[in-house]
A and B are shown apart, each in its own frame.
Chain A
Amino acid sequence: MRFPAGNTLRSWLWLLVVLALGGLFYWGMQRNPKELPSVLAKERRPAPDFTLPVLSPYQEEWGKTFKLSDHLGGKPIVLNFWASWCYPACYEEAPVLEATWRRYRDRVLFLGINTQDKEGDALRFIEQFGLTFPQVFDPRGRVGVDYGMYGVPETFVIDREGRVVVRHAGTIDQATLERYLKEVLP
């Protein structure tokens, strides 16, 4: 303060602070604040187990309940959380999931988890898109919390060792889904 040099330093400091603030905010605008990392996928944690009732159209083939751990360790698994009220995102990705499932069904298991929904609405949705991969029913959304899910739709990919390797938030498209599958397929 006593030296002129100190004074110029201080005036530059102001400029620096203002510029740093501007840089930080500008950077902040470039990113999506809603994007949240998944603890499971980041640490490649073993997929949390669950047992859920299978929706009626699939009970013949998959039984009354579905226990995830019975299917881990074999084929990779794609878990898709969805709900009939999630419009339009879930409606956009349902045909993509169905088509991919048909192509990969001998090598990958797809499982749909209907979350916080009503059974009637869920069945209507399934019929509308003619979904053939197994669908389970979680009206409370408890499994979603175990997976650290924050909103439907969300898709998790589990590798052959039963670890979560990918969490995709929002609508998924064909190319992205296939890229994920390449990662877990031999």
Chain B
Amino acid sequence: MLSCSLQVAWKTMSKESRMKATINQKLTEMGERERLKELLRAKLTECGWKDQMKAHCKEVIKEKGLEHVTVEDLMVEITPKGRALVPDSVKKELLHRIRAFLAQHAT
């Protein structure tokens, strides 16, 4: 029953999103996603992104008041800035590794 509904879902997906799902599954299965996460975390700490973000968090929290802080609010406030502040060099390195993975496993 479950597999049947999954198959239906699979078929209704567009070709592109199916590809995406497959790649994502592979990334997780091979442990590459964890490795990439770890790499990104290390790089971001190294380049001061984390400190900048924490400073930004402090401002946000002071605005809202200590008691009313939720993870969801923080996410909304912080994610755009987080994306913008990632240095190009870090982006480039991560993209390079992801592309290498894709080239290796998409053939």
Indicate whether A and B interact. Answer: no
- Chain A residues close to B by CB (< 8 Å): none
